[in-house]
Structure formats: C-alpha cells, structure tokens
Amino acid sequence: MAQHAKGMSLTTKVLLGMLLGIIVGLAINLSGLNVKGSWMNFYVVDGLFKIVGAMFVTALKMLVVPLVFFSLVSGVIGIGDIRELGKVGAKSFVLYLLTTALAIAVGLSIAASFGIGEGVHMSTDAVFTAKEAPPLSKVLIDIIPGNVVNAFASGKMLQVIFFSIMVGISILMVGKKARPIVELIEISNEIMMKMVNIIMAVAPYAVFALLGRAIANLGLGLLADLAGYVTVLIGVLLLHLFVTLMIILKLFSGKSPGIFLQKMKEVQVFAFSTSSSNATIPVTLRVVTDRLGVHNSISSFTIPFGATINMDGTAIMQGVATVFIANAYGVHLGMSGYLTVILMSVLASIGTAGVPGVGLIMLSMVFTQVGLPIEGIGLILGVDRLLDMIRTAVNVTGDATVSVIVAKSEKKLDEKVYDDPEAGIIEEEDLEIDPQAEKELAEVVEEIHEEIVEETEQKHQGQ
C-alpha cells in the first residue's frame, strides 16, 4: 500500500493552481489592466502565463504518440488471449457510441423543453466557415496509415492505434523469439510512464498559468450575454457527468461512483485547463491504469480510442446549440430533424480528434446536414472557448467510465486498486533518482561499452 504523501498531494496542488488561476485571471480581467500593449498583457498574460502554459501543453502532446504506441503494443501482447482484443474493441465502440447518442439526446430534449433561443435577435459579426463532414468511407479508409511515419508525426490517433495493434499482433505471431523486443517495449512503456510523472510535477503551476491566461483574456462577463444557452448547457453537462455517467458506471460495473469521481478530479482539471482530450491522454491513461486499476491491456486501447471517438460533452453542446440556433432563427426541426442531428453528431465524433474547439467544426457539419444557418454558430462563438473547457472534462470522464466498465466485464479490473483511495498517487519518491540505481546503471553502460571495444579490437586483430 502506498504511504501517505507528505504535505499536500499533487491533486490538491493542481486544484489549488486551478482555483488561483481563475481568481488571478478574473482579477486581471476586471481590473482592465490587460489591454493589448500594456505591461500586464505583454509580460504576464501573453508573456509568462502563455509561455508556461504552452510549454506544458506541448510537453503533454510530446508524450501522447510514443506513450500510446508503447502502452498499446504492450497491452496487446499482454492481453493473454488475442480473441479478447476484438471483444474489447467491439464493447468499447458500442458503449462510446451509445453514451454519445444518449448525451446528445438528453441535450436536445432538455434544451427544447426550456425553449432556449426563442426571442434572441440574431445579429452577429462573428463569422464561421462551415466544414463538410467527411464521408464515412473516408473515415474508414483513413483508419489505416498509408505512411506510418506520417501518422506518427501528425499524431493521427486512429492510425497510431491501428499500427500499434498490428505490431502487437505480429509480435505475438513471431512468438518466443520476440522476447528481446517484448522486453524493450515493456521497459519503454515504463520509461514513458515515468516521463508522465515528471511532467505532472509541474502541473500545478502550468494549470495556474493556463487558466490565468484564459480567464484574463476572456473574462466571465460574456457568459452573461447568452445566459440561457450557457446555463442550460452547463446544467446538462453537469447532469451527464454526475448523474447519467455515474448511473451507467454503477449499473454496468457495480463500482462506486464516489471513488471514481474522487480519482478522476485530476484528469478533469487537466482536460479543463487544456481543452483537449488528446493532450490529456497521458494523464487519463495514468489515472485509469494506476489509480482505478484498469489493466493496461484495456486502458491502453480504450483511452486513446475514446479521446478520438467519444465526446459526450461535445455531443451535449451540439444538441443544446442546435436547439438554441434553430429557435433563434425560427427554424422548426421536427422529430426527423432531431434524429438526423443525433446521427450526424455521433458520426462526426468518430472522424474528429479531441482537440480544442473541434466541437464547433463538428457542429457546422451537423448544420449543413440539417439545413440550419451556419452563420448561427457565430452567435455562440464568443462563449465557446470557456464552454469547451467544461465539455472536455465531461469527454474524458466518459472515456474513463467506459474503460472501467469494459475492464470489469473482461475481468481486467483490479478492484483492490480501485477501492484503495491512495492507490497510484504520485509520491515525492517517484520523482527521485535512486543514487544506487543510478550508479548501477552507469556500471552497466560501462560494461556494455567495454564489451563493444573488446569485440572490435578482437576483430581488428583477427584481420
């Protein structure tokens, strides 16, 4: 059992960073000091805050591809029975689609029952250019990377997942001979997880900077302009997070929602401050595996897969926004219109990655399909940056919920770890380099080096 962390735990520090970031950001915004060209803007908001925040998000992104690759290959070779893989894939796919569809249906119906958007005058200067939804055939073909280097370089998640699974399966087919490569992959996976810990250590400061900047620039005042839309949307998002998903969790896995939410706080804060399910993958993967006890063979697949195709929060936004804009423009959608919206949103979520602001692009795909005016998106553009933060937190919670359910049904959930409130907490020792181990490793390097030199010399003498 892990020892109690000395002093404040990392999660508490991250939460504190978030709270302080919001307070400081708000203070800067309200004081009016943050005008372009002012010292506050130049040195603090667009200086220090921007640099610290962006360096952190970039560091997280740096981890995503190698982490997903090593952990997924290790997951596939560690699954024990390769037929399981298909089952895990099918179960998580169905659950992801179902939760997304449920989310948007709830969003649509609650928004419709409140009649939001009625009586809103639709003048807006903000312009939004529509994007057409890629056809399903393209989405399917694009799962296979024509060029692996390109897939890795541009972080195309579904392609990286596909290739990693293929590598894992091929290693299994090679069998015992592949032992060295299995060792290499296992150790590489461990190394990448260590790197996650290192980056997490600076998270409290980074979260502070990210939120300080976002709130200083945006303020919260704009939320009031669209109070109806914002309140209903946040209400449905919270309902989904705390009620719907938790009922699904309890119903399908029997596990405690209280413990789940307690442990997920950290992940939610990351998603909230980065607005990106993709950049949050390293943190989600760590928490779901080490803290919630989901076996790596499940989480290494369900988390990156979910970050790409499962977006409950985004789906809710699409439902609420559709009703809001339809009402604002006096368009009557009707039942078939609503069903098209549900179907389109679910499809759009498969082909788009979890990055900031992508929800609006998906919304424009839906609008072109149901014939709603794209300009309407301009109405909600201003508040979207802030709402993106909340819905991303809901998105990652959905990914983790499904992971726990799938793991439980596959008997790959370590319930002792799940139930232990202290499990997987990052301790200070985790970030220390053991001097003894350091020395030993240096000796190993020295030995290898000497062996190589000796071999080369022998070769030369032989010639």
Residue position matching structure tokens 């943190």: 283
272-291 binders of ligand ASP (CB under 6 A): 275-277
| Closest CB to ligand ASP among residues 34, 268 | 268
Question: Which x/- pattern, by CB under 6 A, does the window 107-146 give for ligand ASP?
Answer: ----------------------------------------
- Contact between residue 310 and residue 402 where contact means Cβ atoms under 8 Å apart: yes
85 or 317, CB closer to ligand ASP? 317
Nearer to ligand ASP, 92 or 392 (CB): 392
* Identified binder of ligand ASP from the candidate list 156, 213, 255, 391, rule CB under 6 A: 391
Q: For ligand ASP, which residue of 333, 358, 379, 383 counts as binding (CB under 6 A)? A: 358
Smaller CB separation from ligand ASP, 75 or 354: 354
Buried b (16+ CB within 10 A) or exposed e, 150-167: ebbeeebbbbbbbbbbeb
Helix axes 377-409, 257-274, angle to 10 degrees: 140
Query: Which residue lies nearer to ligand ASP by CB, 76 or 362?
Result: 362
Q: How far is the C-alpha of 427 from the C-alpha of 382, rounded, in Å?
A: 40
Alpha-carbon gap, residue 121 to 109, rounded angstroms? 22
Q: Does 392 sit near ligand ASP (CB under 6 A)? A: yes
Q: What distance in Å separates the CA atoms of residue 296 and residue 108, rounded to the nearest whole number?
A: 36
Binding to ligand ASP by residue 398, rule CB under 6 A? no
Per CB under 6 A, the segment of 149-157, 173-181, 354-362, 415-423 that binds ligand ASP is: 354-362
3-state secondary structure of 413: strand
Residue 371's alpha-carbon distances to 63, 374, 378, 386, in angstroms, are 40, 8, 16, 27
Does residue 101 contact residue 342 with C-beta atoms inside 8 Å? Answer: yes
Does position 99 interact with ligand ASP (CB under 6 A)? The reply is no
Residue nearest to ligand ASP (CB): 359
Minimal distance in Å, beta carbon 93 to ligand ASP?
Answer: 18
How many chain residues touch ligand ASP (CB under 6 A)?
A: 15
One symbol per residue from 293 to 332: x for binding ligand ASP (CB under 6 A), - otherwise; what is it? ------------------x--x------------------
**Which residue lies nearer to ligand ASP by CB, 212 or 354?**
354
CB atoms within 10 A of CB 443: 10
Enter the DSSP assignment of 41: I
Residues forming a β-bridge with 413: 294
356 binds ligand ASP, rule: CB under 6 A: yes
204, 316, 451 from 289: Cα distances, Å: 22, 27, 39
Contact (Cβ atoms closer than 8 angstroms) between residue 418 and residue 264: no
CB 225 within 8 A of CB 377: no
275 or 289: CB nearest ligand ASP? 275
CA distances from 61 to 10, 57, 131, 239, 283 (A): 20, 6, 25, 30, 11
297 or 322, CB closer to ligand ASP?
Answer: 322
Q: What is the closest distance, in whole angstroms, from the C-beta atom of residue 175 to ligand ASP in the complex?
A: 39
Q: In terms of CB distance, is 64 or 73 closer to ligand ASP?
A: 64
Q: Residue 354, interface with ligand ASP (CB under 6 A)?
A: yes
Binding part of the chain for ligand ASP, among 147-155, 215-223, 271-279, 432-440 by CB under 6 A, reads 271-279
Q: Tell the smallest beta-carbon distance from residue 358 to ligand ASP (Å).
A: 4
**What's the closest the beta carbon of residue 96 comes to ligand ASP, in angstroms?**
13
204 and 14 Cβ atoms separated by less than 8 Å? yes
* Residue with smaller CB distance to ligand ASP, 276 or 403: 276
> What letter would DSSP give residue 220?
S
**Cα four-point dihedral sign 347, 351, 356, 357:** negative
- Residues in contact with ligand ASP by CB under 6 A are 275-277, 311, 314, 354-359, 388, 391-392, 395
